[in-house]
């Protein structure tokens, strides 16, 4: 008898969850996070005060060791790395890390604006779009940036022009 009551309570609770039975219009945005785990003490000591404002646990030395061995650092990523958006939706990027990042649309993935990170990650040819980034393309730690609404069906590539292994593929579908 008790298990039946728990089942009924669970079923009612699931029906009350926000969005579970939502019949309203689809969202006009899709969301993505830019993440890193920089340790502020070691990153700021190596790169200058304010480089890392987060509370991550990866030291600058551990970052460089992983980058050298793997040509990327797993904790520096976009999440998700692949997503679907509909024509008319915007992409909202939130920087959940401690360093600044960009979310730059590129024709082809390539290197970014930091030569040493390009070399270490094996991205020696800079993506042309990274060479043209503007000051407002940088997303500070804790900040959010909205990309314009998607206008055409197809595949789009985005990367961080600082950490070029941070990549996302967006598949844009019809409404």
pLDDT at 25: 55
Distance CA 112, CA 129 (A): 9
Q: How high is the pLDDT of residue 75?
A: 98
Q: Looking at the predicted structure, is the pLDDT value of residue 7 above 80?
A: no
Q: What is the mean pLDDT of residues 115-120?
A: 97
Q: Which CATH architecture has domain 25-173?
A: Sandwich (2.60)
The pLDDT tens digits of the residues spanning 137-170 come to: 999 999 999 988 888 999 999 999 999 999 999 9
Dihedral, CA atoms, 77, 90, 155, 121, nearest 10 degrees? -20
Spatial contact of 51 and 99, defined as CB atoms under 8 Å apart: yes
Domains of the chain, by residue range, sit at: 25-173
Contacts of 170 (CB under 8 A, 6+ apart): 30, 82, 83, 84, 85, 91, 150, 155, 156, 157, 158
What is the tens place of the pLDDT at every residue in 38-53? Answer: 999 999 999 999 999 9
- Average pLDDT of the chain is 88
Question: What 3-state class would DSSP assign to 56?
Answer: coil
pLDDT at 26: 60
pLDDT band at 28 (very low <50, low <70, confident <90, very high): confident
Backbone φ and ψ of 136, nearest 5°: -80, 0
Which H/E stretch holds residue 115? helix 115-121
Query: pLDDT band at 20, cuts 50/70/90?
Result: very low
pTM: 0.83
Alpha carbons 106 and 130: distance in angstroms, whole number: 8
Q: What is the CA radius of gyration of the chain?
A: 20
Instruction: Note the pLDDT tens digit of each residue in 54-101.
Output: 999 999 999 999 999 999 999 999 999 999 999 999 999 999 999 999
E-only strand ranges, the chain: 29-35, 77-79, 82-86, 90-95, 101-102, 104-106, 138-139, 144-147, 154-159, 167-173
């Amino acid at each position: 008898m008790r298990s039946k009551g728990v089942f009924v309570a669970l079923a009612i609770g699931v029906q009350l969850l926000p969005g579970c039975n939502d019949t309203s219009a689809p969202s006009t945005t899709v969301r993505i996070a830019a993440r890193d785990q920089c340790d502020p003490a070691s990153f700021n000591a190596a790169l200058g005060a304010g480089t890392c404002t987060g509370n991550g646990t990866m030291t600058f030395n551990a970052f460089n060791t992983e980058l050298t061995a793997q040509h990327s650092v797993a904790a520096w990523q976009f999440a998700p790395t692949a997503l679907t958006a509909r024509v008319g939706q915007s992409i909202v990027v939130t920087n959940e890390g401690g360093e600044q990042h960009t979310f730059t649309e590129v024709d082809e993935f390539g290197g970014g604006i930091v030569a040493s990170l390009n070399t270490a990650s094996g991205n020696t040819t800079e993506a042309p779009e990274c060479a043209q980034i503007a000051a407002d393309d940088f997303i500070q730690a804790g900040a959010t940036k909205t990309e314009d609404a998607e206008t055409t069906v197809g595949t789009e590539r985005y990367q961080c022009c600082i950490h070029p292994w941070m990549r996302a593929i967006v598949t844009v579908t019809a409404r």
